[in-house]
Amino acid sequence: MAQERNCSLRIHLVDTGETFKLKKCHSKMTIGELKTNLELVTGIPANLQRLYYMDEGEMPDNVTLKYNGVIKNSTITMKTWFQDGWQQLLHAAAHNDIKKLMALGVTEDTEYSTPNFRQLDTKQKAAWIAERAFVALFIAAHRGHVSTVNFLLMNGADPKTKTASGRTALHMAVVMARSECIDQLLLHGAEADDPDGNGETLMSLAQMTGHLDNISKLFQIQWTKRTAGIKTSSLMDKSALFAHQKYDSTLETWRKGPYGTLYLANLLKPGEPRAGTIREQRNPVWKNRPTRTARPAGHRKSSKQAQNPNPIVVIDKAQDDISPTKPSDSWKKEATITEAEINNKSLRQDTSLSANVKSKGSITKPQKGGQVNPS
């Protein structure tokens, strides 16, 4: 161990018969630091751990692994305190034995008693029962025993209680990816955003396990809690509607009033052309388009002209001298000619009429030879 900076150790828990493996250990790690790390691995609170190596002597918290001569891949023995039935309690919680837990003082109406318990006052007895219920909950959540977790929570176990390392039963359920236990603990008020004594959050512990369902679940819980105080607007609130939903385009005020200006300001960004401007700029040469000329017989339209019935005519230099089409004044000439013809016709009619009148009313003079000629 003296030459190895990092190594692994095996931990044998005598009270439950389980064996665990701890990685990333080093020779300068103290026993106190080792107990804090073992809390996550074994699910046993650090204050209940008693560690032994080789000579069965308990190792103090302030000494290092190097001082105790611990070598890599060796086995360290863990035991718990035998007073007040702690060993039986740990075994029942680790093996999901609810009946045995009920007889070991984890509920408020328990009849379990020890010499130490009988010397306590009422307040101290309540704290003694609460500590035992928390330890059982801590271990059951680590092992994933949902039925034991539900039983303890329904009988007064506090999910917010922490160990000396700042860890709760929820930390144990997260680090071991116990999804059902996480749900039950959160349902009974467990804190989802409290870091432990080392600054590890529930999210960081969940990422260590790589369980995506737990990561998304914790993210949703934390997001819901953080946004609980934010007031959200109703779907019918005007601030939640788009521009075309705020105003009715059939109203006169939408086209000319201040609502129309506000509508366009919300609908289009500043500087963007309006739709009418776009249509006017689309074909700027139509105003100066030259007059159409007669197409020779036999001339056929190309396929491109057939596909585009209204092509845009581009005026080149050769067409600069072509004057634009002007409105025809032929109707004025036609009207003038027609009026002159009418006047001339009327004049002729009047002349012929006067000639006839004169011829009828004149006196005939006899001429030589007895003939009478009209004057």
Please check whether residues 92 and 220 belong to one and the same domain: yes
* Domain end among 190, 209, 226: 226
Q: How many whole angstroms separate alpha carbon 287 and alpha carbon 289?
A: 6
Beta bridge partners of 50: 79
Q: What is the mean pLDDT of the chain?
A: 75
Please check whether residues 123 and 197 belong to one and the same domain: yes
Burial zone of 201 (CB within 10 Å; 0-12 exposed, 13-18 middle, 19+ buried): middle
Q: How many whole angstroms separate alpha carbon 58 and alpha carbon 292?
A: 111
Assign residue 29 the CATH number of its domain.
Answer: 3.10.20.90
* 136 pLDDT more than 90: yes
Number of domains in the chain: 2
**Domain for residue 293, yes or no?**
no
Please check whether residues 89 and 172 belong to one and the same domain: yes
Mean pLDDT of 312-340: 48
Structure tokens at 352: 């012929």
**Domain for residue 326, yes or no?**
no
Which of 53-62, 74-83, 270-279 has the weakest average pLDDT? 270-279
Please check whether residues 46 and 127 belong to one and the same domain: no
Which of 1-10, 28-37, 150-159 has the weakest average pLDDT? 1-10
Mean pLDDT of 138-150: 96
CB 69 within 8 A of CB 1: yes
Please check whether residues 106 and 213 belong to one and the same domain: yes
Please check whether residues 210 and 97 belong to one and the same domain: yes
**Domain for residue 365, yes or no?**
no
Q: How many whole angstroms separate alpha carbon 3 and alpha carbon 26?
A: 10
* 31 pLDDT more than 80: yes
What was the pLDDT predicted at 226? Answer: 74
What was the pLDDT predicted at 265? Answer: 65
pLDDT tens, 218-244? 888 777 777 777 666 555 555 555 555
Q: How many whole angstroms separate alpha carbon 166 and alpha carbon 197?
A: 5
> What do you get for the CA distance between the two ends of the chain, in Å?
165
**Domain for residue 366, yes or no?**
no
User: What are the residue ranges of helices labelled H in the chain?
Assistant: 31-42, 86-94, 98-102, 115-118, 122-143, 146-154, 169-175, 179-187, 202-209, 212-226, 243-246, 252-256, 258-267, 275-282, 303-307, 330-361
Please check whether residues 38 and 25 belong to one and the same domain: yes
Work out whether strand 50-52 and strand 372-373 pair parallel, antiparallel, or are unpaired: unpaired
Nearest Cα neighbor of 190 from 141, 124, 131, 139 is 141
What was the pLDDT predicted at 235? Answer: 53
Helix (H, G, I), strand (E, B) or coil at 20: strand
How far, CA to CA in Å, does 37 sit from each of 4, 11, 281, 371? 19, 12, 74, 163
Please check whether residues 200 and 178 belong to one and the same domain: yes
State the pLDDT confidence band at 316, using cuts at 50, 70 and 90.
very low
Mean pLDDT of 314-326: 46
Q: How many whole angstroms separate alpha carbon 349 and alpha carbon 341?
A: 12
* Domain end among 33, 65, 80: 80
What was the pLDDT predicted at 123? Answer: 93
What was the pLDDT predicted at 216? Answer: 82
pLDDT tens, 116-129? 999 999 999 999 99
Please check whether residues 118 and 42 belong to one and the same domain: no
State the pLDDT confidence band at 6, using cuts at 50, 70 and 90.
confident
**Domain for residue 64, yes or no?**
yes
Which of 11-20, 288-297, 318-327 has the weakest average pLDDT? 318-327
Mean pLDDT of 287-302: 52
* Domain end among 80, 114, 135: 80
Which of 118-132, 184-198, 280-294 has the weakest average pLDDT? 280-294
Beta bridge partners of 30: 64
Please check whether residues 185 and 203 belong to one and the same domain: yes
* 357 pLDDT more than 50: no
How far, CA to CA in Å, does 323 sit from each of 66, 288, 289, 319, 332? 106, 9, 9, 9, 22
* 319 pLDDT more than 70: no
Please check whether residues 67 and 130 belong to one and the same domain: no
What was the pLDDT predicted at 230? Answer: 67
Q: Which domain holds residue 31?
A: 7-80
* 347 pLDDT more than 70: no
What was the pLDDT predicted at 213? Answer: 76
52: which DSSP letter? E
